[in-house]
Chains A and B, each alone.
Chain A
Amino acid sequence: MKLEQEQIKKIALSALLLVALLYGYFTYLLDPLQLGEKNATNGMAAILPQISDAKQQIAKAADLETKAPQATAFLTDLKNSIPDGAPIAWFPPKMADFFKDHGIDKCTTHLVSEGPGPMPGFRKLVWSVDVPKVEFTPLGIAISSLENDEPLLTILNVSVDATREDAQYQHATLILSTLVKS
């Protein structure tokens, strides 16, 4: 079949229209859609781990929140055991009462020095406790109780000297440090 000139022109026009249709479809309709879909897919791939991390973080914090009171109970108890007010006002009477409870009537306590504690919120005070007349055994028992009952207290130095006046008694000096709220 031989095509006429007019028909060839029409076929060419149709081909042009087809190209225009394909271009318009892919460029202006399909591409934006696919681009949007690709962006959403990439976004999902990025956000899913973030959501997972956030959920894990919340779960970790919740878990820690339940465990923390038990883990920090010791510190809380210690903090609560420290009386309020200036240590110079309460610590020497506390020592006097403590030794009196252990049958040692006389003791004097002096503040020696003051410094920072091992952690924020605490400061370290060094005291000298002088016991002029004490038997060795009650002193040992008192030191044992002091070390066991007062976790914030550390005995740095113990000095026990025999007295010339009475062979039964000794003179003891304790240098101890304690932590107080700053």
Chain B
Amino acid sequence: MPLHVNLYHEVQRQERARQRDPLRLSMLGLLVIAIGFVANYFVVLAQAHAVGSQYASLAAQFAALDPKAQAAKARQAELNEEITASDTMVKAVESRFYWAPVLDQILKTVPRTVQLTHVGTDAAGSPGGSSLVSITGISSGPEPRKEAEALRTALEARLSGQFKSVTSVFKNLDDSDQIVMLDGRRLATANFTIDFQLVAKDPAAAATPPPARSARIAAK
């Protein structure tokens, strides 16, 4: 075996020592870590940029929508006000008290033996309130008071079909000295005044049919 003499062993040892230098190794390690951090930074930067862009886009969209939404809100309030006003008007119209059906019922109810001399009405001041009808007249017959009572009950019954509640009361019912001729007979008479209190069923009023019969009101 030939003898091998390494004349450079000192140089080689120094070279190995240089390669194993802790500072050099740690610098290499730091460099690797730094490269990793830089790569991570760019990844995070891309994510942040994407989120930022999305936010900027939404903010721009909102900036464009907001004035329109404010204008729409104002317009909606304006329209709601108009609709409310229209509804109020509809209610006001529908809650009116219609007198023609009442006059029609009076016309249909008054018998031949009764002559009305006055019909007076007062509408309720507010919806749901009671309206007043007052009729004054002369009833005639063998028992004129009964004729007047028959008129009161008949009219109350007829009006009850149209109203939520109807109450009637004689304001006065007095025998009269006057004698009237009806169908060739002399009949006694009585003067009466009847008040009817009417409460409407609901604000929506029915159409008002015109009276169909001839007048029953006559002069005293």
Contacts and interface: CB of A to CB of B under 8 A. Distances in A.
Contacts of B122: 156-157
Interface of A: 3, 7, 10-11, 13-15, 17-18, 21, 25, 29-30, 33-34, 36-37, 40-41, 43-44, 47-48, 50-51, 53-55, 57-58, 60-62, 64-65, 68, 71-75, 78, 118-121, 135-137, 139-141, 143-145, 147-148, 151-152, 154-168, 170, 179
B73 A57 contact: yes
Dominant secondary structure of chain A at its interface with chain B? helix
Given A158-B103, A159-B120, A58 B72 contact: yes
A65 B82 CA distance: 11
A58 B80 CA distance: 14
29 contacts: A3-B22, A11-B23, A14-B23, A14-B27, A17-B27, A18-B26, A37-B52, A40-B54, A41-B55, A43-B59, A44-B55, A44-B58, A47-B62, A54-B62, A61-B79, A68-B83, A121-B85, A137-B213, A141-B211, A143-B99, A143-B208, A156-B123, A157-B120, A158-B103, A159-B120, A161-B117, A162-B117, A162-B217, A163-B219
A162 B219 contact: yes
Given A57-B69, A119-B89, 8 more contacts: A11-B23, A14-B29, A21-B37, A136-B214, A137-B214, A143-B99, A156-B123, A159-B120
Given A58-B65, A162-B118, A44 B54 contact: yes
Interface stretch (B39-47, B181-189, B196-204): B39-47
Interface stretch (B8-16, B90-98, B147-155): B90-98
Contacts of B88: 118-119
Contacts of A147: 96, 98-100, 208
A89 B131 CA distance: 31
Contacts of B90: 74
A41 B97 CA distance: 63
Contacts of A156: 122-123
B119 interface: yes
B26 A11 contact: yes
B176 to A, nearest CB: 15
Interface centre among B33, B87, B99 (most CB of A within 10 A): B99
B39 to A, nearest CB: 12
A13 to B, nearest CB: 7
Contacts of A17: 26-27, 30
